[in-house]
Amino acid sequence: MATTRIVVPATAKKGQIIEIKTLVQHPMITGHGRDNVGKPIPRDIINAFVVTYGGEKVFRADLFPGVAANPFFAFSTIATVTGEIVFTWTDDQGVETVEKRQLTVI
Amino acid sequence: MTTKQHPLRPLTRRPVLAGLASLAALSGVRLAHAADSGPEQLARGIAEITKGATVLPGRVKLELPELAENGNSVSMTIVVESPQSAADHVRTIHVISEKNPIADVVKFHIGPRAGRARVQSSIRLADTQRVVALAEMSDGRFWSGEASVIVALAACIDAG
Amino acid sequence: MRWSVIFSAAVLVLCVVSARGQTTRPEPPRPGREFQSAETRRLEADEAANPGLLWLEQGKSLWSKPEGTAAKSCAGCHGGDVAGAMQGVATRYPAVDPASGRLLNIEGRINQCRTERQGAPKLPYEHASLLALTTLVTHASRGLPRAIRIDGPARPFFDLGHRFYVERQGQLNVACAQCHDAIVGKRLRGDTISQGQTDGWPAYRLEWQSLGSLQRRLRACSLGVRAEILDFDAPEYLALELYLAWRGGELPLSAPGVRR
């Protein structure tokens, strides 16, 4: 599981558009580079980021090697009901990093 | 290439061609992209995404700095003018690069639950180039926006 | 003996002594972030987007992780409230360790805790855990001015650091002072030359696509002037860290910074 940093409000008013910002620690190795003896360094990136809220997908990103290391995303979602926001990052090996945050809607 | 020759003997055709061939093979992947990169890469990238659908310039504000201090990480904000309602919303924002080894940079899939069509990320830019953002709408049409970025190199290349 | 000779000799000695002790620092000291692009400055200031903060998050989880033969965590001695326990600590480093007489930077102090109190092996520079803990400790002093000592046992280290700073080095045959004192604000290719202040370190360097230690940056400086790159923890780099900390005067610490 990679280290993450998520900025999301803990509470929001119903109907309010909330801003969510996420960071995940990953070198995002492009696959274009070579090591010190000229051997290609294989690609190793996070290629997918999915966010669900109350079980429904509210944001998805397809990442290619052109995304900077330690990928950052900011996006928005409407606060509908109190529920869990689940963040899932998946890398080229299929390894997932999952984080959960509770959002209380008043 | 293991041909041993007197260092001052003029190069004959065969070793030169063999050398060039191995050079091309070594850099095969990069050569393929390099030949493509530029306006052709953008056009091809747009065609692959839109598959002949209408592309209208406008509504997409692609914010990138005019001058990027380091191409390893360039902050990007994309805002699309859209009600983001169930009837009329941005489905996907595609970001394509003119000169990166790969045209596709990132795709954002959003929907009516986003409330507004605004996303941010940090991208890599291999060189000074144009970047295009395509907003794929719920009605199948595409809006587009573009930005040009000058990418500076670190003063000390190979910066440890 | 002629009094005039004694008097002249005394004046000469005084001049030499005061010249050795005389070293100026920039006034006002300007933090490293002022010499980055506006975009890089914005990234540093953004509490959600500054990538260096990932190492802070890592450090937070390491703080309560038991380590070594003693199976002790940092929290085991310092308590769970790392921000409270470590507030102000980083402002006093580099400092001379009274027991060993060695000059310790933050990394050295962390490793001393590991080897002597946790029974854990020393962490090498740029190891993810050492970067994370260094970020955690320096972040706890964010906004606080430095409070280092350059007198007493620290003096010889300070003098060594000063000498390293003013002596020409490398194939380019330049001294740190020739750029970072004499031509601050001028351009080196696309970069604006800074004062070389260390207030923002450890920092996330865009060039490295990672957070890295101050010593990694100093080694890159050696590379930049085509001088011999000394080992991590070389006495010269440690002494230079102390000298540079002094050069910063009252500059508040601001780690993790973001640099190009």
- Bridge partners of A57, per DSSP, are A52
pLDDT score, position B16: 46
Q: CB–CB of A17 and B102 under 8 A?
A: no
What does the alpha-carbon distance between residue B61 and residue B78 come to, in Å, rounded to a whole number?
6
pLDDT band at C133, cuts 50/70/90?
very high
pLDDT score, position B39: 87
Q: Bigger pLDDT: C1 or A77?
A: A77
Q: What is the ipTM of this complex?
A: 0.97
Distance from CA of A86 to the nearest CA of C (A): 18
Residues of A in contact with C47 (CB under 8 A): 7
pLDDT band at C53, cuts 50/70/90?
very high
Distance from CA of C56 to the nearest CA of A (A): 9
Count CB pairs under 8 A between chains A and C.
40
Q: CB–CB of C223 and B152 under 8 A?
A: no
Per the listing, tokens 């295009």 go with: B132
Residue environment code for B50-85, b if the CB has 16+ CB neighbours within 10 A, otherwise e: beeeebeeebbebebbeebbbbbbbbbebbbebebe
* Residue C74 appears among annotated catalytic residues: no
pLDDT digits (tens, 9 = 90+) for C162-181: 999 999 999 999 999 999 99
What mean pLDDT is reported for chain A? 97
What does the alpha-carbon distance between residue C19 and residue C15 come to, in Å, rounded to a whole number?
6
pLDDT score, position B3: 42
Mutate to test the interface with A, among C63, C209, C258, C260 (most CBs of A within 10 A): C209
The amino acid occupying position A40 is: P
Handedness of CA C247, C251, C256, C258 (dihedral sign): negative
Q: CB–CB of C53 and A5 under 8 A?
A: yes
pLDDT band at C10, cuts 50/70/90?
low
pLDDT band at B27, cuts 50/70/90?
very low
For residue C54, give the nearest of A28, A70, A74 by CB distance.
A70
* Arithmetic mean of pLDDT, B122-150: 96
Residue in chain C closest to B150 (alpha carbons) equals C190
Q: Is the pLDDT of residue C16 over 80?
A: no
Residue in chain B closest to C229 (alpha carbons) equals B160
Cβ contact A24:A62 at 8 Å: no
pLDDT score, position C1: 59
Q: Is the pLDDT of residue A22 over 50?
A: yes
Per the listing, tokens 């085991």 go with: C76
* Arithmetic mean of pLDDT, C214-232: 96
* Arithmetic mean of pLDDT, A25-31: 95
Handedness of CA A24, C209, B70, C49 (dihedral sign): positive
Handedness of CA B20, B23, B25, B28 (dihedral sign): negative
* Arithmetic mean of pLDDT, A44-52: 98
What does the alpha-carbon distance between residue C30 and residue A11 come to, in Å, rounded to a whole number?
40
Q: Is the pLDDT of residue B18 over 90?
A: no
What does the alpha-carbon distance between residue B79 and residue B63 come to, in Å, rounded to a whole number?
8
Task: Pinpoint the alpha helices (H) of A18-104.
Answer: none
Pairing of strands B67-68, B142-151: parallel
Residue in chain A closest to C43 (alpha carbons) equals A72
C34 touches chain B (CB under 8 A): no
Indicate the angle between helix axes B13-26 and B28-36, nearest 10 degrees: 80
pLDDT score, position C12: 55
pLDDT score, position A66: 96
Residues of C in contact with A89 (CB under 8 A): none
Mutate to test the interface with C, among A72, A73, A76 (most CBs of C within 10 A): A72
pLDDT digits (tens, 9 = 90+) for C72-130: 999 999 999 999 999 999 999 999 999 999 999 999 999 999 999 999 999 999 999 99
Q: What is the CA radius of gyration of chain B?
A: 21
pLDDT digits (tens, 9 = 90+) for B53-109: 989 999 999 999 999 999 999 999 999 999 999 999 999 999 999 999 999 999 999
For residue C54, give the nearest of A3, A21, A74 by CB distance.
A3
pTM of the model: 0.88
Residues of B in contact with C260 (CB under 8 A): 69-70, 154
Helix (H, G, I), strand (E, B) or coil at B140: coil
Query: Of the ranges A31-35, C194-198, C202-206, C226-230, which one carries the lowest mean pLDDT score?
Result: A31-35
Query: Of the ranges B127-141, C19-33, C95-109, C201-215, which one carries the lowest mean pLDDT score?
Result: C19-33
Out of C74, C113, C176, C221, the active site residue is C221
What does the block give as tokens for B154? 């670190």
What does the alpha-carbon distance between residue C115 and residue A69 come to, in Å, rounded to a whole number?
33
